[in-house]
Amino acid sequence: MTDNILKNIIITGASRGIGRATALALAAPGRTITLAARSARLLDDVAAEARAAGASAIVAPCDVTAGEDVRRLVDQAAKTTGRIDLLVHSVGGAYVAPVTQISQEQWDEQVRVHLTSLFLICKHATPFMHNGGLLVYVASVAARQVFPNWSAYCAAKHGALGLLGAVREEMRPHGVRVTAVLPAATDTGLWDDLPGDWNRTAMLQPADVAAAIVALAAYPPHVVVEELTVGHVAGRL
Closest CA to 123 of 45, 57, 186, 66: 66
Q: Helical H runs in the chain?
A: 17-26, 40-52, 67-78, 104-111, 117-125, 151-171, 206-217
Chain centroid offset of residue 74 CA: 15
Residues 134 and 86: beta-carbon distance below 8 Å: yes
Distance CA 122, CA 125 (A): 5
Q: Can you tell me the distance from the alpha carbon of 226 to that of 166, in angstroms, rounded to the nearest whole number?
A: 12
Helix (H) or strand (E) holding 32: strand 32-37
Instruction: State which H helix or E strand residue 8 sits in.
Output: strand 8-12
Burial of residue 231 (number of CB atoms within 10 Å: 0-12, 13-18, 19+): middle
Helix axes of 104-111 and 151-171: crossing angle, nearest 10 degrees:
30
Q: What distances in angstroms separate CA 236 from CA 97, 125, 200, one per listed residue?
A: 20, 34, 12
Residues labelled as active-site residues:
153
**C-alpha span between 126 and 221 (Å, rounded):** 16
Helix (H, G, I), strand (E, B) or coil at 33: strand
